[in-house]
Amino acid sequence: MTDETNFTIEEIKPRADALRGLDSLFLQDNAALVQTYRNMDWSDISSLTQMVDVIEQTVVKYGDPNDSIKLALETILWQILQKYPLLFGFWKRFTTIEYQLFGLKKSIDVLATSVKWFPTSLELWCDYLNVLCVNNPNEKDFIRNNFHIAKDLVGEQFLSHPFWDKFIEFEVRQENWDNVQIIYEYIIEIPLHQYARFFTSYKKLLNERNLKPKRDIDTVLRRTQTIVNEIWQFESKIKQPFFNLGQVLDDDLKNWSQYLNFITNPSKSLDKKFIMSIFDRCLIPCVYNEKVWLLYINWLSREDSSYEITVGIYQKASKLLPLDFKTLRYDFIKYLKKNYRLNNVLFSNIFNETLSHFLNLWPNDVSLMTEYICMWKRHSFKNSLDQPPREILEKQTSFTKILETSITNYLTNQTDPRVHLQTLMNDKNLSIVVVELIKTTWLVLKNNMQTRKYFNFYQKNPLIKDSVPFWLTYYKFEKSNVNFTRLNKFIKELGVEIYLPTTIMNDILADYKTFYLMHSNIVAYETSTLDSSTFDPILYPELKISNPQYEPVADVKPNAEWYKRTEWKEAGHVGIMIERPQISNSIIECNSRNLVQRPITLPNFRNLEKINQVKINDLYTEEFLKEKK
Amino acid sequence: MSYKQFNYYPNRGDPTRNDSFQYNDVTSSNNNSINNNGTNVLNVQGASDINPGTAGNQLYMGDLDPTWDKNTISQIWGSLGEANINVRMMWNNPSNSSSRPSMGPKNNQGYCFVDFPSSTHAANALLKNGMIIPSFPNKKLKLNWATSSYSNGNNGSNNSISNGKSGNNYSIFVGDLAPNVTESQLFELFITRYASASHAKIVHDQVTGMSKGYGFVKFSNADEQQLALSEMQGVFLNGRAIKVGPTSGQQQQNVRANGGNEYNRSSSSLNNENFDPRFPSKNQSSLGNVTNNMSSKRNHMSQFIYPVQQQPSLNHFTDPNNTTVFIGGLSSLVTEDELRAYFQPFGTIVYVKIPVGKGCGFVQYVDRLSAETAIAGMQGFPIANSRVRLSWGRSAKQTALLQQAMLSNSLQVQQQQPALQQPTYGYIPSTSYENPAPLNSNITASMLPGSQTLNYASPYTNDNSLLHESSNSLGLNDFGFYNKNGATNASTASLMTNNDSIGATDANGQQVLMQGNEAFANSTTAMLNRLEQGSNGFMFA
């Protein structure tokens, strides 16, 4: 795009504190600047505006400050614009400030950067081209080149007449009448706000220059006129065409959605470039609205747009959207997987890049690792039917090897940055890699011995010990072996040594009962219940459902201290322990021959004095309310 | 027992023992006639013989500095020309909690009784009412006739009037009350047992407003009054065994009823303890003549009196409608979705919330039962290698209010309980747990976890509903059983569909399919999906 301009602002490293390293005297004299910077509220446009105001005042005050001050001011502005590149007003003010501080060259550079960061801004392009025309009138090719870039980006916008005026003016000045006609021919098809004016001047030009139109321009005029009339109902209602912080007005959103529906209606068969330009414009105020992005992508895929455009929009969206929008980003991954065959290498690269990015954003999202391994295997270890089996086996073995080394490296803290997988691994998704290793060994290499070894080895690791995928794989593995001894042990250990979410445990328990009933037989059942009197593979899972810490009563004899159990103390009022009063002497004695000699003793009471000693463990107040952050 | 009640009976050691001033002074003047009535009913004769010398020569003196003692009062009157007086101070009970020994300086109750040599002296002294006390310029004399002295003086003439005025009222003294006992609680305790209990009064400190730990209960039936005296000894009210005794006027009257010997003993200061109501056995034996016949008619329960459990103040722990579970000791690795997977099977969840950086979480359920099962079932369960500790929490809204309150003024948390109301009356616990039960059962009937799976034919379903209905009186524990049954049923049913899907269409399977509703089918599908896809990197999204 504007790579010709060797630019310096973008090279400014985003520093956490732009004011660091400044002369303390300067800081003292400009307390307002320091204070505004320190108190800047990134979500409040007025706070940002105030910041720029203060910078402008500082520039006026000092005229030509020293380099470090200049750099500091530049950095602040750059920080703001890097975060919100769509604030075109700030770009303009930045340009002025740069002009005052450094002179013309650098201010033009700022404009060049601005159209690179905010390419769909009509105002910025007009400013930039204007400055170029006025200051470098001789670099015609460079200017014309920029005009053409701008034409593609903003030329279709409803209010882009200032740009076209400028373009025509530029070509007229060169007296390049062919080009002028080409421009007019281009314009008359665009539904512009001032389409009529351009028609008149085109006709005038044709008359003056005695040129011949290449087609019947009146037909074109009528067509353009209809479209302009149709879209005017939407265009006239746009209240805020620019980007601002905070919510977009509901009316505007509604209008945009109707507008987009209207133009994307297949029956209209509008020009694709025109529709895209409306989407681009909508995405200026609605840049943080995921739905509009999805609508755009949806439309692109319906129109069979080239994957470059679609991927471009996806990348732009995933860069600009706030981090909590996941739908579009997951859509992107799906899209890449689906269209992988279009361009293996490119898509695999984009995929890896995107995944690394997403894993940085959401390190807890284990599904990303699953996606990655799938794609990695598909790309780097692909097999086809015409390959000899030996080759296939070798490939799969090497895949397993890489997985195992990656896991070992990760566990020993020696990750190799050259292996992409190892850079992606974290504590959360380690178990996914382990499961993949186990599954390949078990299902592809068919090595049951090795699989069991892996299970035994990794289940000791605290990072894997409570991993759902790991244990579900284990459960499946033992189920496939119909190994009831191990399965029984596994079921027994659930909730006691293997801690899984209750939902999953319930699923397993319910499923196990079914499985047992279907695959075991009465003899096996009876022997198993004979062996261990406490475990019944049919009854036990049922008792454990929704009771993760269920333990069968091993000792059938009544416990002498039964009244000390939590269940008794909390009976009827969970969370509140009460020592209930009890009669401590038993009247069983009355059956003895003592009864004959003496009367039954009066009841003795235990815990009568504790009746109102309520024991509660109020963690909520202790740990939450009183806890200071 | 102990002697902690001595101060309730300030007339101890006073040979005259003629008054029931405590009751009279604090309550309205018509109480005076109650005591007199008591006297009259049992023994009208001799009432005027008891205090022949003290009629009308006693003054009440109020507005005392709490530190003044007998000497100070004597000095004051000495400086006013009345040296020959007898002062009886009213001392505060050291503290209302009888377990603690008295600490610090002894304080009077702000008034005393002054006996003058004659009623003329007393009348003269009364003229000084409102005068500034010479040695304490910021204090004024506050004087009046001591009611008892006045009434005693006019006993003979007043009796008929007071009888007619107040009907038949008999009262008893109730001591050793817990400080938080309200008059309504006290009254409720008696009215549930004695239909004729008509009024309860607790004596409060006029300065602090705190209960002094004793009070009086009025009956309209003398039999029941006597029954109460014998039966209510040591009954628990708000966690403390109460003491009952006759009001002081009756004491004397009882003594009189039992003959001159007793009276002689009572007039000797050495033996005063005998008449203290803290010795109910003696009193009862002396009352026995009167009450035995009555009490034998009633199958009374003085032998086995249920201790009354104190109703705890309403907070997030005791609120029976609280459904928010607090999860402490939560690992920072756990996400809200994961936490939900741990707590979902216990019931329908309203929300799961993990505040940032607090190492804890909140789960709110739709119904109480789910929350209780969750606390009981998940207590101490390790989530992400860290054992969680569960307790009751407060809803996000209440928490926000509380935090706001704590920010604005660091008042004690316990006092700041927005949206929770203190019950005005205490209840006996059994009813308090019964009351919410019907409500809960209504809620749980529609939203019971796993209830969507109960729609298939099962011989147990009927039993369940029966159990459910009867569980109102059985308490909430039964719901836990019911709930588990629901889950169990679900699993049985899922077994059947499994069979079916494999192709073994037996009669049962078909039945399930016919009756299986959509929710059930969905939950089974979800379960199978979790099991199937779980091993590929389970997502909680």
Residue A495 contacts B, CB cutoff 8 Å: yes
Average pLDDT over chain B reads: 63
Q: Is residue A426 part of a domain?
A: yes
CB < 8 Å to B344, chain A: 502-503
Q: Of how many residues is chain A composed?
A: 629
- Which of A516, A505, A507, A508 is closest to A538 using CA atoms? A516
Average pLDDT over residues A76-84: 84
pLDDT digits (tens, 9 = 90+) for B181-240: 888 888 888 887 887 887 888 888 777 777 888 888 888 888 888 888 888 888 888 777
Domain boundaries, chain B: 324-415, 429-534
Q: pLDDT over 90 for what percent of chain B?
A: 8
Note whether A85 and A199 are same-domain residues. Answer: yes
Most confident of A71-85, A419-433, B508-522: A419-433
- The pLDDT score that the predictor gives to residue A471 is 94
Q: Which residue has the higher pLDDT, B408 or A105?
A: A105
CA distance linking residue A454 with residue A212, whole number of Å: 81
What is residue A444's three-state secondary structure?
helix
CB contact residues (below 8 A), chain B span 233-262, against chain A? 236, 238-239
Asked whether residue A339 is domain-assigned, the answer is no
Residues B344, A132: Cα–Cα separation, whole Å: 65
- Indicate the SS3 state at residue B132: strand
Does any domain span residue A500?
yes
Please check whether residues A545 and A585 belong to one and the same domain. no
The CATH code of the domain that includes A26 is 1.25.40.10
| Contact between A546 and B399 using a beta-carbon 8 Å cutoff | no
Residue pLDDT, tens place only, B418-436: 443 333 333 333 333 333 3
> Residue B327 forms beta bridges with which residues?
B361, B390
Contacts of A548 in chain B (CB under 8 A): 377-378, 381
Question: What does the pLDDT read at residue A479?
Answer: 92
The pLDDT of B111-132, averaged and rounded, is 83
Which of B22-31, B133-142, B339-348, B354-363 is the least confident region?
B22-31
Q: What angle do CA B400, B328, B374 make, to 5 degrees?
A: 95
Q: Are residues A497 and A421 in the same domain?
A: no
Which positions 258-287 of B are in contact with A (Cβ < 8 Å)?
A: none
How crowded is the C-beta side of A374, counted as CA atoms within 13 Å?
16
Q: Which of A557, A578, A595 is the last residue of a domain?
A: A557
**Same domain, yes or no: A78 and A98:** yes
Last residue of a domain, one of A192, A227, A262: A227
- Which residue(s) pair with B174 in the sheet? B215, B244
Which of B229, B128, B244 has its CA nearest to residue B176? B244
Which of A541, A546, A619 comes nearest B484 by C-beta? A546
* pLDDT given for residue A594 in this prediction: 61
Same domain, A493 and A589: no
Residue B313 has, within 13 A of its CA and on its CB side, a CA count of 10
**Residue A242 pLDDT more than 90?**
no
Residue A383 lies in a domain: yes
The better pLDDT of the pair A598, B30 is held by A598
Q: Which residue, B494, B111, B338, is CA-closest to A514?
A: B494
Range of the domain at A532: 483-557
A439 in contact with B, Cβ within 8 Å: yes
CA distance A415 to A412: 8
Residue A533, SS3 per DSSP:
coil
Question: In the predicted model, what is the mean pLDDT of residues B439-459?
Answer: 37
Asked whether residue A618 is assigned to any structural domain, the reply reads yes
Residue B376 contacts A, CB cutoff 8 Å: yes
Residues A598 and A579 in one domain: yes
B 327-346 residues inside an 8 A Cβ radius of A: 328, 333, 335, 338, 341-346
* B17-68 tens-digit pLDDT: 444 334 433 333 343 434 444 333 333 343 333 344 445 788 888 788 878 8
Decide if A546 touches B, using CB distance below 8 A.
yes
What is the distance in angstroms between the Cα of A193 and the nearest Cα belonging to chain B? 47
CB contact under 8 A, B487 and A506: yes
Q: For chain B, what's the residue count?
A: 541
More confident residue, A571 or A487: A487
Of A432, A548, A576, nearest to B381 by CB-CB distance is A548
User: In this complex, which of B312, B392, B535 lies closest to A620 when CB atoms are compared?
Assistant: B392
Tokens matching residue A280: 């681009």
CB contact under 8 A, A367 and B537: yes
| Span B291-302, average pLDDT | 40
Residue, of B168 and A620, whose pLDDT is higher: A620
List, in sequence order, every residue forming a beta bridge with A616; answer none if it has no partner: A576
Yes or no: say if B170 and B34 are a contact pair by the CB < 8 Å rule: yes
Sign of the four-CA dihedral A85, A90, A96, A97: negative
Asked, for residue A242, whether it belongs to a domain, the answer is no
Nearest-by-Cβ selection for A469 from B343, B393, B538: B538
Q: What pLDDT band is residue B500 in, cutting at 50, 70 and 90?
A: very low
Residues 605-624 of A with CB under 8 A from B: 608, 611-612, 614, 616-621, 623-624
Query: Does any domain span residue A305?
Result: no
Question: Is the CB of B345 less than 8 angstroms away from the CB of A546?
Answer: yes
Mean pLDDT of A536-565: 77
Residue A504 to residue B394, Cβ atoms within 8 A: no
Angle (deg, nearest 10), helices A307-320 and A327-338? 150
Burial B248-282 (b: 16+ CB within 10 A, else e): bbbbbbbbbbbeeebbeebeeeeebebbbbbebee
The whole-number pLDDT of residue B104 equals 52
Range among A39-53, B197-211, B283-297 rated most confident: A39-53
Q: What is the pLDDT of residues A148-199, one digit of tens each?
A: 888 888 888 888 888 998 888 888 888 888 888 888 888 888 888 888 888 8
Q: What is the pLDDT of residue A301?
A: 86
- The token pair that represents B471 in the structure block: 């569980």
Domain co-membership, A179 together with A34: yes
Give mean pLDDT, residues B509-530: 67
* pLDDT in the model for residue B193: 80
* A510–B527 CB contact, under 8 Å: yes
More confident residue, A600 or A337: A337
- How is residue B184 written in tokens? 């309504």
**Which of B431, B536, B539, B540 to mutate to test binding with chain A, by most A CBs within 10 Å of its CB?**
B536
Question: How far from A555 is each of A156, A529, A545, A561, B58, CA to CA, in Å?
Answer: 84, 16, 22, 13, 76
Mean pLDDT, rounded, of chain A: 84
- Predicted confidence (pLDDT) at residue A90 exceeds the cutoff of 50: yes
> What distance in Å separates the CA atoms of residue B28 and residue A432, rounded to the nearest whole number?
82
Query: According to CATH, what is the number of the domain B324-415?
Result: 3.30.70.330
Pairing, β A582-583 against β A605-606:
antiparallel
pLDDT in tens, A219-231: 888 888 888 888 8
Is A246 part of any domain?
no
Segment B248-260, tens digit of pLDDT: 655 444 444 444 4
Each residue of B134-159: pLDDT tens digit? Answer: 778 888 888 877 654 444 434 433 34
Same domain, A176 and A45: yes
- Given this model, what pLDDT does residue B22 score? 41
Instruction: Tell me how far apart the alpha carbons of residues B80 and A94 are, in angstroms, rounded to a whole number.
Output: 94
CB contact under 8 Å between B535 and A469, yes or no, is: yes
Residue A317: pLDDT above 50? Answer: yes
A545–B483: do the CB atoms touch at under 8 Å?
Answer: no
To the nearest whole angstrom, how far is the Cα of A512 from the nearest Cα of chain B? 10
CB pairs under 8 A between A and B: 192
- Lowest-pLDDT range of A107-111, B209-213, B340-344: B209-213
Cα–chain center distance at A3: 30
B-contacting residues in A 514-533 (Cβ below 8 Å): 514, 517-518
d(CA B173, CA B27): 13
Q: Which long-range contacts (CB under 8 A, 24 or more apart) does B429-434 make?
A: B429/B309, B429/B311, B432/B311, B433/A572, B433/A573, B433/B320, B433/B475, B433/B476, B434/B472, B434/B473, B434/B475
Residue B64 pLDDT: 81
Of A534, A557, A580, the last residue of a domain is A557
* ipTM given for this complex: 0.75
- In terms of domains, do A477 and A521 share one? no
Statement to judge: residues A64 and A153 lie in one domain: yes
Give yes or no: residues A451 and A493 share one domain: no
- Which of A619, A625, A626 is the mutation pick for testing B, counting most B CBs within 10 A? A619
**Banded pLDDT at B244 (limits 50, 70, 90):** confident
Find out whether B454 and B464 touch, Cβ atoms under 8 Å.
Answer: yes
**C-beta atoms surrounding A228 within 10 Å:** 18
Shared domain for A30 and A144, answered yes or no, is yes
Chain A contact present for B360, CB below 8 A: yes
Comparing CA positions, the residue from B490, B489, B333, B319 lying closest to residue B394 is B319
Nearest by CB to residue B498, choosing from A473, A514, A571, is A514
| Residue in B closest to A627 by C-alpha | B358
The answer to whether the Cβ–Cβ distance between A572 and B475 falls below 8 Å is yes
The reported pLDDT for the residue numbered A599 is 67
| CB contact set of B34 (below 8 Å; sequence gap of 6+) | B23, B166, B169, B170, B171, B218, B247
* Domain count across chain A: 4
- Per-residue pLDDT of B474-485, as tens digits, reads 333 333 333 333
Task: Please check whether residue B400 touches A, CB under 8 A.
Answer: no
Its sign, for the CA torsion A109, A115, A121, A125, is: positive
CB under 8 Å to A336, separation ≥6 — which residues? A311, A347, A350, A351, A354, A375
